[in-house]
Structure 1
Amino acid sequence: MDLSTRYLGLSLKSPLVMSACPLGLDLDAIRKAEECGAGAVVLPSIFQEDIENEIEEIEHLATLGDSEALSYFPTRLSDNLGPQNYLNLIRKARAAVDMPVIASLNGTSRSGWIDYAQQMEEAGASAIELNVFFLPTDLELTGIEVENRHVDILKAVKQAVSIPVSIKLSPYFSSPGAMVRTLDETGADGFVLFNRFYQPDIDLEELTLQRDLRLSHRGEIRLPLLWIAALSGKVKGSLAATSGVQSAAEVVKYLFAGADVVMTASALIRHGVGHLKVLHDGLVADLTQREASSVADIRGRLSRDKVADQTAFDRVNYIRILRGGRYIA
């Protein structure tokens, strides 16, 4: 069975990708992911504000001459300041596996996006995923300004590095398809659909904000499935599906919609990295049952342009579901 695919111009042995999550901090987990059938790994995101806050704290302690506080930090601070630990992770991961190692970056300033992206390239990252986690809670910020911010970030990073650059997007644009097309024209090598934003909850007993992380469930597949199906064949960049992947069924559905790769993290956090083998073997079994010889045989066969009834993706389907659809508890 030929599971090979292309993503961001890179050759992958399979469309399964371990997406950015804490598991990517463990070299053994990365090795096991490859052994279990992953075609690539996206390392956890590096956050610019975390790095800068750490540097500011150490510099502040040094200014105060607080030797006791400084004793809690490594002797050679220069080896650990800034993104050095993350860059070392890139180097070690590249040495540990044959599959592509994709770095993930969340910046806060133009100089930060550029500087850290360049350092990631120098460390050996196969590609960079821009994790543009940005909530426009400033009520004065317009939709156009939000969109331009994404374009400016992509343009700056693309000019700064020569390796492929993908962008992980939110589904909350007024026109996600048009946003993807604009970024595609700007030079994005791929799109990860979609970023899951984590909103706070309220603890009514303590009257405090709760910051918990809810793992995704298979019901979340439908929104990215819709947009991947709509974008398949319409953009030059690769399409990566994420959210809701719990079993091989979701992997197959995303491929039918037109995804080049399918990313998962929640399922691996729930069941362990070895769950990738379950997804891998399930994908092989499904393709075998369909008498398909490769992933390419099914990719995009149920994209919007390929289905006979395109209204299944559009407004008419919305009306039909409300009037006579099946209700699933």
Structure 2
Amino acid sequence: MTDLTTLYLGHTLVNPLIVSSSPVTRDLDLVKKAEDAGAAAFVLHSLFEEQIEAESLDLHHHLEAGTESFAEATSYFPDMRAYNTGPDGYLEQLRKVKAAVGVPVFASLNGTSVGGWVRYARLVQDAGADGVELNVYDIPTDPAASAQRVEDGLMELVRAVRREITVPLAVKLSPFYTAPVNLLARLKDAGAAAAVLFNRFYQPDLNIDELDVVPHLKLSHSDELLTRLHWVGVAYGRVPIELAVTGGVHTARDVIKCVMAGASTAMLTSALIRHGVGYLSHILTDLRHWMAEKEYASVGQMRGALSLGKVPDPAAFERGNYMRVLRQGVGPSW
């Protein structure tokens, strides 16, 4: 029998598939269907710092703008007034999801400063969260803010939250830090048990007719997985922190790549929005078939098989691959 179990944030999961932070977890029927289809855990939709501080009253307008351009997003991304029920509503939804499923449920806190995060980290723990994911959606725009200052602020936040809670802590990162492997080591030292790679920024477009900046929602695709695989593969076995992949996981082959790079889990949102939560069972079926065909008895046996830790000098290996790609070129014009 193929063993799909994996360890993440102190829990043994029945397989590596986690439903990541999204509006899916606002609907109890969808949550139950996802568990029936094979979801091993859930990350609840995020509680935003702006909700905690009761600021940015027009945030829903900016995040909602442009969704009409993407039919696939409109039915899953409600306006912020409906999506963000506020801190009390969030805690109540967490309790309901915990009562509805038998798998771990992790809370998600989305912000950039210590602020009310510490207090609400404790509250989500008390409401039953099996772990906390800090979704650090930070866009430094101050010319005086150095990379060191940004990273030090993140460590301060992680240490403050770690002191306040006893459940495991994960940090969801952007791909734009200057030295990701060093950052992961610092996060581990600060008290994080896991890192989630990487957050997807919703890049703004420019409306040149209305002179406006218009964010819009665009679902991910498998090509986005490459950056995640790169850094998971570099870090696995070299930094003692659990690694999860989010952004670009759509097929069983994507999940296999995540695990073989070194990830403990693979998180999905866009694939479930496109195909429905029942699609999880299709991924699991394909995963089992591939493992049986390749004679892998367990996910643990696969993990890290293609990580850079398998080579003596990862930096030299990376440069060698870079030169190899350049030599191969992309077509006759080269």
> What is the TM-score with the length of structure 2 in the denominator?
0.86
Query: Which residue of structure 2 aligns with residue 127 of structure 1?
Result: 131
Gap runs ≥5 in structure 1: 58-79
Cα distance, 1:118 vs structure 2: 0.7
Cα distance, 1:313 vs structure 2: 5.1
Query: Which residue of structure 1 aligns with residue 6 of structure 2?
Result: 5
Q: RMSD across aligned C-alpha pairs, in angstroms?
A: 2.1
Query: Which residue of structure 2 aligns with residue 106 of structure 1?
Result: 110
Equivalent residue for 2:293, pick from 289, 293, 296 = 289
Larger-gyration structure (1/2): 1
Q: Is the 8 A contact 2:52 2:116 kept in 1?
A: no
Aligned to 1:111, the other structure's residue is in SS state coil
Gap runs ≥5 in structure 2: 59-83
Cα distance, 1:319 vs structure 2: 2.1
Q: Is the 8 A contact 2:111 2:138 kept in 1?
A: no
> Higher mean Cα deviation, 215-224 or 304-313?
304-313
In 1: Cα distance, 2:209 partner to 2:281 partner: 43
Q: Is the 8 A contact 1:19 1:265 kept in 2?
A: yes
Query: Which residue of structure 2 aligns with residue 70 of structure 1?
Result: none
Aligned to 2:266, the other structure's residue is in SS state strand
Alignment size in residue pairs: 305
Indicate the percent of aligned positions where both proteins have the same amino acid: 45
> Higher mean Cα deviation, 196-205 or 318-327?
318-327
Q: Find out whether 1:153 has 2:153 as its counterpart.
A: no
The correspondence of residues 178-193 of structure 1 with structure 2, limited to 5 A, is 178-193=182-197
Equivalent residue for 2:89, pick from 85, 88, 98 = 85
Equivalent residue for 1:234, pick from 230, 234, 238 = 238
Q: Deviations over 1:29-83 (max 9, x none)?
A: 11111111111010111102134337999xxxxxxxxxxxxxxxxxxxxxx9851
Change (3 A) 1:313 1:240: farther
Paired residue type of 2:99:
A
Cα distance, 1:107 vs structure 2: 3.1
Query: Which residue of structure 1 aligns with residue 16 of structure 2?
Result: 15
> What is the TM-score with the length of structure 1 in the denominator?
0.88
In 1: Cα distance, 2:133 partner to 2:277 partner: 21
Q: Is the 8 A contact 2:184 2:241 kept in 1?
A: no
Q: Deviations over 1:282-315 (max 9, x none)?
A: 1111111111121112111111122589568512
In 2: Cα distance, 1:16 partner to 1:214 partner: 22
Aligned to 1:314, the other structure's residue is in SS state helix
Q: Is the 8 A contact 1:311 1:317 kept in 2?
A: no
In 1: Cα distance, 2:329 partner to 2:272 partner: 33
Structure 1 runs of 4+ with >6 Å offset:
54-57
Query: Which residue of structure 1 aligns with residue 62 of structure 2?
Result: none
Change (3 A) 1:52 1:308: closer
